[in-house]
Amino acid sequence: SIAPLITHANNIKVGQSVAAVSVDEGGEIFIENDTTSYLPWTTEQMLGKVRVIQAIAGRSSAKSMNAPLMEAITNEHFPEDDYQTTTIVNQNDSIWGTGSFVKSSAEDGKQDFPWSSMVLDSDGAVSKAWQLDENTSTIIVQNKMGQVLYSKQGKLTDQDIQQVLQLIKKSL
């Protein structure tokens, strides 16, 4: 079977930190009084909280791939002081001509989940630094020190989702 090779195609290793990367084109989305702004974002900003990182292609198929996990996390109501979801949308990995659509979709995501961190990666810097496959969703769980506890590319099974929730609870 080819699946195990695909799962380890990136350079994300359990027990280590993700490769440091900055997003200057695009950045983290902030919405205040209906005004949207973008600030440069770095992986260092993810330290200090238990985190699920969802790195996705700028395609609806990639976004919906792990929607069941995002729903399960929302239903858990983890404490915002200790937990945050960071979604990194690779605008560079989108269907030609849909870039502005991807951007507005990311902004809508921030509006729907204001407690989440939403990063629009216009140049695909994160995907390049972490060697992520195109056209998919990668889920990473990291502890407050930035150590990776879990990583999987593609659609998570129900068992994977339970594992992710348990890792978050243990790490809070």
Q: Which residues of 56-79 are buried (b: 16+ CB within 10 A; e: fewer)?
A: bbbbeebbebbeebbebbeeeebe
Q: Rounded to an integer, what distance in angstroms lies between the CA atom of residue 9 and that of residue 75?
A: 31
Nearest residue to 63 (alpha-carbon basis) of 14, 5, 113, 13: 113
Confidence band, pLDDT 50/70/90 cuts, at residue 135 = very high
DSSP conformation class of 16:
S
Whether the pTM exceeds 0.75: the reply is yes
**9 CB-side CA count, 13 A:** 16
Whether 162 has a pLDDT exceeding 90, the answer reads yes
Q: What angle do CA 70, 99, 108 make, to 5 degrees?
A: 40
- Return the bridge partners of 35, or none: 32
87-105 tens-digit pLDDT: 999 999 998 889 899 999 9
Of the pLDDT bands very low, low, confident and very high (cuts 50, 70, 90), residue 9 is low
- The one-letter code for the residue type at 85 is T
